[in-house]
Amino acid sequence: MIGRLNHVAIAVPDLEAASAVYRDTLGARVSAPEDLPDHGVTVVFVTLANTSIELVAPLGPESPLAGFLKRHPAGGMHHVCYEVDDIIAARDRLKERGARVLGGGQPATGAHGKPVLFLHPKDFCGTLIELEEA
Catalytic-residue membership of 34: no
User: What is the helix (H) or strand (E) element at residue 15, kind and residue range?
Assistant: helix 15-20
- Residue 122 to residue 116: CA distance in whole angstroms: 19
With CA atoms as reference, report the closest residue to 29 among 55, 4, 6.
55
DSSP assignment of 98-116: TPPBSGGG--EE-TTSSEE
Q: Name the residues that contact Co ion, by CB under 5 A.
A: 9, 54, 81, 130
CB nearer Co ion, residue 82 or residue 94: 82
Q: Which is nearer to Co ion, 24 or 64 (CB)?
A: 64
Please state the closest distance from residue 128 (CB atom) to Co ion, in A.
9
β-pair partners for 132: 83, 116
Minimum distance from CB of 119 to Co ion (Å)?
A: 12
Q: Which of 83, 130, 132, 133 is catalytic?
A: 130
Of residues 54 and 133, the one with the C-beta less far from Co ion = 54
Residues with a known catalytic role: 130
